[in-house]
Structure formats: C-alpha cells, structure tokens
Structure 1
Amino acid sequence: MIYFAPEARRRYADLGLSGRAGYFASRSAAFGRASADLVISTFYNFNPGFVRKAIDGAWDAATPQQVLDARHAAASEALRRAEIHELPALGEVVALTRRAVEAACEHVQGRPLFAAHAALPWPEEPVLQLWHAQTLLREFRGDGHVACLLSEGLGGLESLILHAATGEVPVDFLKASRAWPADEWADTAERLRSRGLLDGDALSPEGGRLRQHIEDRTDRLALPAYAALGDADCERLAELASPFGRKVVDAGLLKVG
C-alpha cells in the first residue's frame, strides 16, 4: 500500500522527490545511494530510461535515511488512518510474520532487495513492525520471482507483457507505470506471439503453462519463510490477517492516483 498511499507522495514531495522519483528512491533507499543501474537491475520490468530520469538527482534532494524516515512515517500515518493499530490480533499477527521473516533471513543469498531491507532496524511501533515484516516477505518473494524470470529467459518487458496478458492487472496501468515506449511494447509482443506465448493480446495455452510454471517456482522459492511456521500457524496467520487486508482496501490505500 505504501506505493499508492497519498501520505507517501506528500512526504516524498516535501523532500523534493516528485513524481516517480519518490517510488524509486523510497524502495531502493535501503541500498544507500543506489545508482540507476542498481535500481534497473533489481526492479526489473521498468523502462531503464524512465528509471534513470526518475532517480537522477534523487540523492542530491534527500539522503537515503531521510527517504527511509519519510517512508516509515507515511506507512504509520496511512495504516493508522486504516485503523490497523486498533485490530485486536495485531500482536499475534506481528509475532507470526516476524517468525517468517527471521526464517527468510537465513536465505538472503541472491535476494538483493530483500537483503537490503532485512539489514534495516526493526521499527518499535507494532503497526510498523507488521508493515516492515510484510515488506520483507514481499521482497523475499519478489527477488525469487526475478530469478525465475531470468532462468526462463524472459526480460523485463517480456515478463510485463505476459503479466498484462493474464488480465489480472489493467494493461493501461502497466503501460503507464512501467513507461515502455509503444513501439517497443508492440515489437516485444510480436516476438512473444512468434514464440507461441501469446494469442493476440491474451496468453496462449503455452504462455499460460509458462506463466503457471514461473508462479509455482516462485512460490517454492518463497517456502523457507512459511515452512518455519508450519501448516497450522500458516492457516492461523491467513485467518487473522484477512481483516487487516480488508481495512487496507476499505481505506482506499491501494487506489491508484
């Protein structure tokens, strides 16, 4: 939710980070003064030129620590607006997710975004502890997903187009947020059709099988975090976490724009 919450945009703008600079700087600030090349390599499916333009001058406007502080303050403000801090199961959900994160921390190799965020100190506020834990679990899975895409020979734009072809996310949102030129998108889509992975703008049966294979492998790579909880506590976490997700959605924290 931190990438959509207006609280975050306002705080980044106060630091002089406007537009997408706030997104790229805030997510990469755990690296320190991350170069555009580092952001391009770890964020994977964004147009490299777009990333360079957004990150250029970001660390002259604000230090990584200032950006991290703004990100945490925005997360706290937004989640409190959603009344996450009032949910009675907060303490148990924090404990379960932190156990999962601590298990994941035994597997940092090859997971740069996760490793960078795992090195940050844990917040003291319970609602921020939960947000930090969820951020870490997200990056843990995300780094594994990138590894799967690489192993299947899918570049950033190819993976993005296949994602769009599932219909799970509006294609206009993906085009606008990742900022690939229309001609590059069209040319890459045609190459995917020639490989038999697309049927028009939708996944072909072969493309669907490849997507499912990648998702299944990604899930397997994320298992070390959740295996530490065992089946019973994973089910308990899923049960307890449902009202948290509902409050985030109801508060509009996932709305674009």
Structure 2
Amino acid sequence: MSHPQAKTHRMSEFTESIGTVTFSGIPNEGFLALGMRNYWDGYFAGRAAPLGLAPAEVVHAVFYNFADGEVARHIPWVWGKTTPEEAIAVRERGSAAALRQMIGDLADSSGLARAADLATRAAVSAPIEGRALYAGLRALAVPEEPVARLWHAATLLREHRGDGHNIALAAHGIGGTEAHVLCALAHGMRPEEFGRIHHLPKPQLAAVIDGLRDRGLVNAAGGFTDTGRATRERIETLTDELAAPAYDVLSVAELDELIAGLEPICAAVDAAGD
C-alpha cells in the first residue's frame, strides 16, 4: 500500500528523534567503560558493528559522509577493545536506557508497546537491496522489551532511509562532504559553522565548496544557486520515495495509529534533547 509522502516523511522525523538517542550520554558512557578513547570511538564501534569486522574502507563507503581518513582513526582500532557482538549489546542497552530516561512514564504505556509493534512490522519489511547497513541491522535479533524494540525499529528505519539517501546522493553526483555543505546551506548556516565539517582544514573545505561552485550549485557568495537548491530538493524527494516502501506493510489506519502513538514519545525525546 502506497502512503502519502507527507506521512512517510513525518515518520522519518520520528525515527530520527528516537534513533539518535544512540548518540547521547548513556550509550557513550557504556562505550567509554569498554575502553574507548572518546565519543567517536564509541560512535564507530556501535554503528559499524552490524557490518562485522569490516575494514575502514568499507565502513567509509557505507557511512558515505565522513571525510577521508576520519573512519580510519577509529576502525579497526576499536576492535582491539571490544567485539562487534559486544558493541551491539552495549549500544542496545545504553540506547534503551537513554530512551526510557527521556520519555519517563510513557516507557511503560500500552501506547508505546503498540507503537513498537507497528514500527517493527515496518522496520523488518523494507527492501534490503542496496542497503548494506540496514541489511546488517536486519540480521540482528529484535529485542523483546518494548522500549528497546521501539529503539531498534526506529534505528532500522532510520538506517534504511539513510542508505537510500546515499543512493540518491550518488545518483546526483554529490559526495559525502559535499552533502554536508548543501545541508548547511539549507539550514541557513555557513559550512564553516556546520557541526559535521567545521573541523576540517580550511583549504580542504574550501576545495569542496569550490567544486560545488564550479558545478553551478553554489554561487560566488557561498550560497545556493537555483540549480543547487533544486538539486538538493530532488535528492530529498528521492530519499523520501526510496524510504516509503518500508511502510507498505501497514494499512492507512495502522500508519495513522503509529504516527499518533509516536507524537508524544518523540515530543518527550525532543524536549529532553533541548
């Protein structure tokens, strides 16, 4: 069953809220306890773990949007401190604990359990082809505890959409660092201020921006051209279209119920994040 793009895009906002609790304090503390040197060690260990002992080059390709050399500072070093199996367990345990802390009494509500069930049905039904990270996550056991199950489902849906986003970027000839520049401009920020690329050496970032300018996507002042804005809009639309099949398994009423059930949960998560 095909659903309106507005609804499937709304689901992407919800899965982003829930899925990214993985990158908060409690999961990070769990990874530091394993001997990780910093936040990014834990990030790469936890997120790459479903790929097994993949080399840095493979993780770089799958994650798509890190600058050259960034993955290799952590992979394979982290596998000298933990295993993919342990990293998966620490990530799930810490993420479920963080989500439970953020949403309070909602964690034990029947509404959350129902949302977890509906989200899981969608999360395990999406197409795997071309989605390497999603496929790795699909191979993992689905948690039984409702809060952990909801987090797991949101992570599956988030990474499925992310894999599709990489497909859309590649189809439009946009590299990972270039994607961050376009994202910064879409949010009204200068690329030098954007969190995922502000740390890059100035000449390296300037070269990326110059390349986008040479292709007519960025103007002389460093903002979007009409072509650049239209290109990003096409990428975002294609990303939504590639994510939509995950929800085909749900009826109209079920997707509406899932959206309604996630509204208060994600509002609590977002408020905790603020």
Normalised by the length of structure 2, the TM-score is 0.86
State how 1:162-173 maps to structure 2 within 5 Å.
Answer: 162-167=182-187, 171-173=193-195
Structure-2 separation of matches of 1:112 and 1:56: 19
Structure-1 separation of matches of 2:143 and 2:81: 25
Partner of 1:248: 269
Which amino acid in the other structure matches residue 155 of structure 2?
T
The equivalent position to 2:43 in structure 1, one of 17, 20, 23, is 23
Taking a change above 3 Å as real, the CA distance of residues 204 and 76 of structure 1, as seen in their structure-2 partners, is: same
CA contact (8 A) 1:45 1:160 kept: yes
Structure-2 separation of matches of 1:67 and 1:79: 18
Structure-2 separation of matches of 1:174 and 1:80: 27
**Structure 1: segments with no counterpart, 5+ residues:** none
**Secondary structure of 2:116's aligned partner:** helix
**Secondary structure of 1:128's aligned partner:** helix
Partner of 1:185: 205
The equivalent position to 2:259 in structure 1, one of 232, 238, 244, is 238
The CA deviation at 1:142 is 0.6
The CA deviation at 1:172 is 3.0
Taking a change above 3 Å as real, the CA distance of residues 6 and 36 of structure 1, as seen in their structure-2 partners, is: same
Partner of 1:229: 250
**Secondary structure of 1:62's aligned partner:** coil
The CA deviation at 1:2 is 3.1
Percent of pairs with identical residues: 36
Residues 1:93 and 2:115 aligned together? yes
Taking a change above 3 Å as real, the CA distance of residues 35 and 155 of structure 1, as seen in their structure-2 partners, is: same
**Secondary structure of 2:23's aligned partner:** coil
Which amino acid in the other structure matches residue 96 of structure 1?
L
Structure-2 separation of matches of 1:42 and 1:182: 26
Q: Deviations over 1:169-219 (max 9, x none)?
A: 78431224xx53321111110121222211323222111111110111111
CA RMSD of aligned residues (A): 1.7
- How many positions carry a matched residue from both structures? 249
State how 1:1-257 maps to structure 2 within 5 Å.
Answer: 1-19=20-38, 20-82=40-102, 83=104, 84-104=106-126, 107-167=127-187, 171-176=193-198, 179-199=199-219, 200-252=221-273
Structure-2 separation of matches of 1:40 and 1:180: 16
Structure-1 separation of matches of 2:189 and 2:47: 21
CA contact (8 A) 1:2 1:74 kept: no
Which amino acid in the other structure matches residue 150 of structure 2?
L
CA contact (8 A) 1:161 1:189 kept: yes
Structure-2 separation of matches of 1:25 and 1:17: 9
Q: Deviations over 1:3-42 (max 9, x none)?
A: 4311111110111112211101100101111211111001
Normalised by the length of structure 1, the TM-score is 0.91
**Structure 2: segments with no counterpart, 5+ residues:** 1-19
The CA deviation at 1:120 is 0.3
Q: Deviations over 1:126-171 (max 9, x none)?
A: 1000000000000111101101111111111111111111016784
| Stretch moving more, 164-173 or 86-95 | 164-173
**Secondary structure of 2:124's aligned partner:** helix
Structure-2 separation of matches of 1:169 and 1:18: 30
The CA deviation at 1:110 is 0.8
